Amino acid sequence: MAGKRHHILPKFLLKGFASKTIREGFLTWVYRREGNVFEASIADVAVERYFYGKQGGSNIDAEITNLEVGYALLLDELRNKGNGYQIMDSRMAEFIGHLSSRTKHIRDSLADSSEFLVSTLFDFLADEHNFRAWILEYYKRHPEIIKKGLDDAMKKMQIPRHQRLVFRQRVMSLLRPERLVAQMDEKISEYSFIFGALGPILLQKIPAMVKDGHIKALAKSLIAEPRLENYRSLNWFICDSKEPLVLGDVGCLFQVAGSKKFKSLNDKEDELVSVYLPISSKKLVVGAPSRLMPSVVSAIVNENSVRTSREFFVGETSERLDLLDILGTESAILSEEEIKQILMEVIHEG
């Protein structure tokens, strides 16, 4: 992975779904959401320029490359193990934690959720009646937080300093206790307009902000520590698949107790039922709380891996066109309704 071209899914994982071996390496069949199906070298699959940062800035490319060596050896060993083999190597849980937090699927999902949240929030505050009701209630409860919140938000949006000062002075002037009620009706439309104008500015900056935040989070820990203990508590097995497995761009698939059974990333509080990671077209790694290997239906794993993926999946054959119709249909980490609910709770919690 070292260099400009960074693999979001590691090549040592992709090679398990090779359609053929050539002198230069391995080929696999790629199924993309827009309907394109083609055979490509795994060197050209799930790759993006400077995904993990550029030299001279935040860059974790070399660290990931070094970490992958041990995981590559582990997967090579596991592909030769028989059905029901129990994996005792602690690197298995670590690889699940690492892979589930590094993908483009996670970054793009966070960007989408952030964009929808910001758009909904600024639309809400741009409405004069909403802004009046919210600011009055919030000021009563948290007057000391408003100034700091304004400063922090505008810095993250990279608004020029002189514009920040003007906006902060005008807002804080409006919010002085003795003037708050008297001036609310006079200036409410002006501040509603400001929120309506700031929304699009922030939306343009979100992809870069999310990328920077994702890289910095990975730089702190290449293995998702908050969830790692959950993965370490599971028992891990090799399961032979009765039908050819595919690998989605989500990498890992998490089955949890609850109404939404399958997720691309589990919440720390989720009760894990099973964790699935296809490591080849014939072998599946399964993690479960039970000491006995759970019963696995390969078709269900394939379908939900594809549903929760965003852009593509790969396989050893060109015969999985039946899965294209469901690709990405459940890829959102949070639904729009869930984001709206979170936003309204935050606003009304005040």
**End residue of a domain, out of 189, 219, 249:** 219
What is the number of residues in the chain? 350
Q: Which tokens hold the place of 94?
A: 């670590």
235: left (phi over 0), alpha (psi -120 to 50) or beta: beta
- Residues sharing a CB contact under 8 Å with residue 337, sequence separation 6 or more, in sequence order: none
- In 185-291, DSSP assigns E strands to 235-240, 247-248, 253-256, 262-263, 272-278, 283-288
User: Are residues 240 and 83 in contact, defined by beta-carbon separation less than 8 angstroms?
Assistant: yes
| Residue 268, burial from CB neighbour count under 10 angstroms (0-12, 13-18, 19+) | exposed
**Nearest-angstrom CA–CA distance, 121 and 304:** 32
Give strand pairing partners of 262.
255
Based on the domain organization, do 102 and 247 belong to the same domain? yes
Let me know the angle formed at the C-alpha of 236 by 234 and 237, rounded to the nearest 5 degrees.
150
- pLDDT for the residue numbered 92: 97
Question: Quick one: 183 and 203 in the same domain?
Answer: yes
Closest CA to 276 of 73, 26, 92: 92
What is the number of structural domains in the chain? 2
Task: Tell me the one-letter amino acid at 268.
Answer: K
* Pairwise CA distance, residues 166 & 150, whole Å: 12
Q: Which residue, chain included where needed, has tokens 């505050």?
A: 125
As a whole number of angstroms, the distance between CA 241 and CA 343 comes to: 42
How many other C-beta atoms lie within 10 A of the C-beta of residue 131? 19
Q: Identity (one letter) of the amino acid at 39?
A: E
In a domain? residue 152: yes
Q: Angle at Cα 208 formed by Cα 59 and Cα 45, nearest 5°? A: 65
Distance (Å, whole) CA 273 – CA 254 = 8
Q: CA-CA distances (angstroms) from residue 140 to 124, 177, 192? A: 20, 9, 20
3-class state of residue 293 by DSSP: coil
Same structural domain, 259 and 282: yes
Asked if residue 78 is part of any domain, the answer here is yes
pLDDT of residue 40: 96
**Same domain membership, residue 322 and residue 265:** yes
For residue 141, the model assigns a pLDDT of: 60
Positions of E strands within the chain: 5-7, 20-22, 25-32, 37-41, 47-49, 86-87, 235-240, 247-248, 253-256, 262-263, 272-278, 283-288, 312-315
**Parent domain of 196:** 114-219
Distance CA 326, CA 313 (A): 11
In this structure, the answer to whether residues 173 and 243 fall within a common structural domain is no
pLDDT of residue 94: 95
Asked whether residue 50 falls in the same domain as residue 140, the answer is no
**Pair type for strands 283-288 and 5-7:** unpaired
pLDDT, residue 1, reads 46
Q: Considering the domain boundaries, does residue 333 fall inside one? A: no
Query: Do 64 and 118 share a domain, yes or no?
Result: no
> Which residues of the chain have a pLDDT value below 50?
1, 177-178, 350
- Domain-ending residue, one of 166, 194, 219: 219
Res 60: pLDDT? 84
pLDDT in tens, 156-190: 777 777 777 777 777 666 655 445 555 555 555 66
Helices and strands (H and E) in the chain: how many: 11, 13
Same domain, yes or no, for 85 and 55?
yes
DSSP string for 236-253: EEEEE-SS---EETT--E
Residues 92 and 146 in one domain: no
Residue 340 lies in a domain: no
167 and 298, same domain (yes or no): no
Which amino acid, residue 104?
K
Tell me the helix, strand and coil percentages in the chain, rounded to 5. Answer: 55, 15, 30
Q: What gap in Å lies between CA 112 and CA 114, rounded to an integer?
A: 5
